[in-house]
A and B are shown apart, each in its own frame.
Chain A
Amino acid sequence: MRTPPMPLTRRGLLTGTLSSAALLAAGGVLAGCGTKAATQTEEGCKSDDLSATEKKLAFANWPQYMDVDEKDESKRPTLDAFVARTGIQVTYTEDINDNNEFFGKVQNQLASCQSTDRDIIVLTDWMAARMIRLGWIQKLDPAKIPNVAANLLPSLLNRSFDPENRISIPWQSGLAGLAWNGNVTKEVRTVDELLTRPDLKGKVTALSEMRDTMGLLLQAGGHDPANFTAAQFDDALNKLKKAVDSGQIRRFTGNDYAPDLAKGDIAACIAWSGDVIQLSGEDEKVQFVAPESGVMLFSDNMMVPNKATHKGNAEALINHYYEPAVAAQLAAYVNYICPVKGAQAEMEKIDPELAANPLIFPDEALLRKSKVFMALDEKQEKEYESKFQQVIGA
């Protein structure tokens, strides 16, 4: 007797595939114990430095964060100068668009002590703090980056997540403050005005970056974002929640508030200084305001991840960018706050108007008003971020 062939159906195939996967998983993934800790240590995850023999460097950065030649977009003057000076070939990629997204891209490699194929990555303070906490970043040799110790702005020294200034070195810094469009509204000076003025209802956005939005609110409530309690955070968050519930705040945004502010769909918002400088260049009625209560200072930091094999070359590049003349040339293009002392004097030679701009070279008064958000441990980060996300609707 011959057996009739088993009829194949789509349902049969699906159940078959799923159940065999279930068997496999039951034996492996599920019976195992979830995931391992992602934390690495310097001893556990040793990286070799091949810089002596390999004159190469892979540099991952954000888009439009590097000066380009006005006549030839493919030339990057400050980077080309570095290549000419050291003979190190730099592979420059603009593949960081979002801190969280980039974290997702590299987390599996770094958690299991594998190479990300990048020697320098540039990430914002809080993400830098998280990666340092997880032990994913290599320590730099202070002897090889003397310019940093000599020229780093004092307000960026000894930040809580990097007290020795040798793990994360600021690439550019910026301020989070307020911005308003003079074509559609009158001046907005304080955070409270932004959150309560009736004529702004539905025409206000805030940043989905918790530290910037909450930092400004904490300061407006008279608290210190560098050192606050859970009760103070809740107090500030309540104010934000009221503004969301009443419809005062229209959206929470990343960089995408900029076109809406320019068009006037948004009358006023919480904004980053660099974006607003670019917008005011096109329309001078769009203005940045540093509220009296204080602004948030953030930096994007150069770091060398574990298993990157060109740490020495990376140090050479970091040192290069901490030369005042190079830093001034870069700042003249990107318009963010330049973290390098002495660059202002160099900027006088390039463009005196930019040298006088307090949003590129902040004066003492502005720097005194600017705060860096407190470093959070993992538990705090999850707790505060969850509370914040509940209010902003996700």
Chain B
Amino acid sequence: MSALAHVPTPSGPAAPAPPPRRGRHRLLPYLLLLPGAAWLFVFFAVPLLQLAAASLYDPSGSLSTGYALTWAFSNYPDALQAYWPQFARSFGYAGIALVLALLLGYPLAYAIAQKAGRWKNLLLVCVVAPMFTSFLVRTLAWKTILSDNGWFVGLLRDVHLLAPDGRLLATPFAVILGLTYNFLPFLVLPLYASLERLDHRLLEAAGDLYANPVQTFRRVTLPLSMPGLIAGTLLFFIPATGDYINAELLGTPNEYMIGNVIDSAFLVRLDYPQGAALSFLLMAAILAVVFGYLRRAGTEEVL
């Protein structure tokens, strides 16, 4: 799995090299790692620990008095108690969006990888092209599409799928739709990469062995696309859970997710201990979900 495992180290007993060369080669992987590790240290590990420290600050501190580190572990239960609905909503919305994205994305990736023929590259560009514009612009575009007086809502009202005064914007539906749309490419691309390598002869062999299409899919295609499926679902679910733009632009206060709360804790309310504690709770919750998922999916070597 890891690319590092393939770094050639001439240390096998079969190929003993002269000592000076061997020493240099043994250091080589570490030297190659140095820039990346330094980057990780400065921009990930140090800020993370600072955030950890901030989450244990005395909650009665303020900008003008400063914050004292009092190991206030009570920040965690307090934050959870105040904002558990937003937590639950984040995971709920991201989960529903993931199911929708799988229903849309799997057939799409399969079609592009296996059936698109010479249209393959064009279709791939179509999947990636929206990413050339900003996330914000794409979400704002949905605001126009779902507008109360727009053609789409008008059509739904005309065919009575929506009550005459019904709306799509500012509902959970719009937020989940936004999440599904915005993160779909992250699911489709890894899936495509897996499905593209699928060997046709295996499918033929399954047919020769009297498997019907459903069985072929369950016993051959699906297991072989597992790596892409796992990578895709993780790349989709993790950012979708922490997202706050979709809830902010397409939802109402009743749809706010935990990202909105963290944003407001840091920028508006200036409650740094609570914001930091919520960030860590979110991280812990996502890690727990991801580890549980990977254990069940049986691919622990991803981490």
Taking Cβ atoms with an 8 Å cutoff, the residues of A that contact B are: 2, 4-5, 7-11, 13-14, 16-18, 20-22, 24-25, 29-30, 32-39, 100-101, 103-104, 107, 111, 133-134, 184, 202-203, 244, 247, 249-252, 260, 263-265, 378-379, 382, 385-386, 389-394
Q: Which B residues are CB-close (under 8 A) to A391?
A: 253
Neighbour of A35 across the interface among B66, B263, B266, CB < 8 A = B66
Q: Smallest Cβ distance from B13 to chain A, in angstroms? A: 10
Q: Is B99's beta carbon under 8 Å from chain A? A: no
Whether A37 pairs with B65 at a CB distance below 8 angstroms is: yes
Whether A264 pairs with B253 at a CB distance below 8 angstroms is: no
Q: Smallest Cβ distance from A128 to chain B, in angstroms? A: 15
Neighbour of A382 across the interface among B30, B50, B62, B251, CB < 8 A = B62
Whether B271 pairs with A30 at a CB distance below 8 angstroms is: no
Q: Which B residues are CB-close (under 8 A) to A244?
A: 253-254
Closest B residue by C-beta to A250: B170
Contact A33 B69, CB 8 Å, known A5-B9, A265-B147: yes
Q: Smallest Cβ distance from A387 to chain B, in angstroms? A: 10
Whether B45 pairs with A18 at a CB distance below 8 angstroms is: yes
Q: Which B residues are CB-close (under 8 A) to A101?
A: 267
Closest A residue by C-beta to B82: A390
Q: Give B8-37 as 1s and 0s: 1 = Cβ < 8 Å from A's Cβ atoms.
A: 010100000000001000100110010001
Q: Which B residues are CB-close (under 8 A) to A22?
A: 49
Whether B264 pairs with A394 at a CB distance below 8 angstroms is: yes
Closest 6 A/B residue pairs (Cβ): A393-B253, A21-B45, A394-B264, A37-B66, A34-B67, A25-B49
Whether B67 pairs with A35 at a CB distance below 8 angstroms is: yes
Interface residues in B49-88 by Cβ distance below 8 A to A read 49-50, 53, 57-58, 61-69, 82
Q: Smallest Cβ distance from A322 to chain B, in angstroms? A: 32
Whether A24 pairs with B66 at a CB distance below 8 angstroms is: no
CA distance A106 to B225 in the complex (A): 48
A-B residue pairs in contact (CB < 8 Å), sample of 13 = A8-B29, A21-B41, A29-B53, A33-B69, A34-B58, A34-B69, A39-B65, A104-B267, A264-B148, A378-B64, A385-B269, A394-B253, A394-B261
Whether B63 pairs with A38 at a CB distance below 8 angstroms is: yes
Q: A8-B4, A29-B50, A37-B66 are known; give 15 further A-B pairs, CB within 8 A.
A: A13-B40, A17-B41, A21-B48, A30-B49, A30-B53, A33-B69, A34-B58, A104-B266, A250-B252, A251-B252, A251-B253, A378-B64, A393-B252, A394-B263, A394-B268
Closest A residue by C-beta to B36: A13
Q: Which A residues are CB-close (under 8 A) to B33?
A: 8, 13
Q: Which A residues are CB-close (under 8 A) to B167?
A: 202
Whether A263 pairs with B147 at a CB distance below 8 angstroms is: yes
Contact A252 B253, CB 8 Å, known A101-B267, A382-B269: yes
Q: Which A residues are CB-close (under 8 A) to B61?
A: 34-35
Closest B residue by C-beta to A201: B165
Q: Which A residues are CB-close (under 8 A) to B64?
A: 37-39, 133-134, 378
Q: Smallest Cβ distance from B280 to chain A, in angstroms? A: 14
From B11, B40, B50, B64, name the one whose CB has the most chain A CB atoms within 10 angstroms. B64
Q: Is B260's beta carbon under 8 Å from chain A? A: yes
CA distance A250 to B271 in the complex (A): 26
Q: Give B249-265 as 1s and 0s: 1 = Cβ < 8 Å from A's Cβ atoms.
A: 00111101000110110
Q: Is B169's beta carbon under 8 Å from chain A? A: yes
CA distance A390 to B2 in the complex (A): 45
CA distance A250 to B252 in the complex (A): 6
Whether A265 pairs with B68 at a CB distance below 8 angstroms is: no
CA distance A329 to B94 in the complex (A): 51
CA distance A74 to B243 in the complex (A): 37
CA distance A134 to B170 in the complex (A): 38
CA distance A382 to B65 in the complex (A): 13
CA distance A354 to B67 in the complex (A): 50
Q: Is B303's beta carbon under 8 Å from chain A? A: yes
Q: Is B149's beta carbon under 8 Å from chain A? A: yes
Closest B residue by C-beta to A24: B46
Whether A386 pairs with B269 at a CB distance below 8 angstroms is: yes
Q: Is B128's beta carbon under 8 Å from chain A? A: no
Q: Which A residues are CB-close (under 8 A) to B40?
A: 13-14, 17
CA distance A104 to B82 in the complex (A): 24
Q: Which B residues are CB-close (under 8 A) to A11?
A: 303
Q: Is B270's beta carbon under 8 Å from chain A? A: yes
Q: Which B residues are CB-close (under 8 A) to A4?
A: 11
Q: Smallest Cβ distance from B268 to chain A, in angstroms? A: 5
Q: Which A residues are CB-close (under 8 A) to B53?
A: 25, 29-30, 34
Q: Which B residues are CB-close (under 8 A) to A33?
A: 68-69
Q: Which B residues are CB-close (under 8 A) to A385?
A: 268-269
Whether A34 pairs with B57 at a CB distance below 8 angstroms is: yes
Q: Smallest Cβ distance from B250 to chain A, in angstroms? A: 10
CA distance A5 to B62 in the complex (A): 50
Neighbour of A21 across the interface among B46, B264, B269, CB < 8 A = B46
Whether A34 pairs with B68 at a CB distance below 8 angstroms is: yes
Whether B37 pairs with A17 at a CB distance below 8 angstroms is: yes
Whether B303 pairs with A34 at a CB distance below 8 angstroms is: no
Q: Which A residues are CB-close (under 8 A) to B57?
A: 34-35
Neighbour of A389 across the interface among B44, B45, B58, B264, CB < 8 A = B264
Closest A residue by C-beta to B19: A2
Q: Smallest Cβ distance from A123 to chain B, in angstroms? A: 14
Q: Smallest Cβ distance from A391 to chain B, in angstroms? A: 8
Q: Which B residues are CB-close (under 8 A) to A111?
A: 63
Q: Smallest Cβ distance from B181 to chain A, in angstroms? A: 19
Whether A17 pairs with B68 at a CB distance below 8 angstroms is: no
Q: Which B residues are CB-close (under 8 A) to A25?
A: 46, 49-50, 53
Q: Smallest Cβ distance from B229 to chain A, in angstroms? A: 20
Q: Smallest Cβ distance from B123 to chain A, in angstroms? A: 33
Whether B268 pairs with A393 at a CB distance below 8 angstroms is: no
CA distance A5 to B256 in the complex (A): 50
Q: Smallest Cβ distance from A3 to chain B, in angstroms? A: 9
Q: Which B residues are CB-close (under 8 A) to A389?
A: 264, 268-269
Contact A393 B260, CB 8 Å, known A32-B69, A34-B66, A265-B149: yes
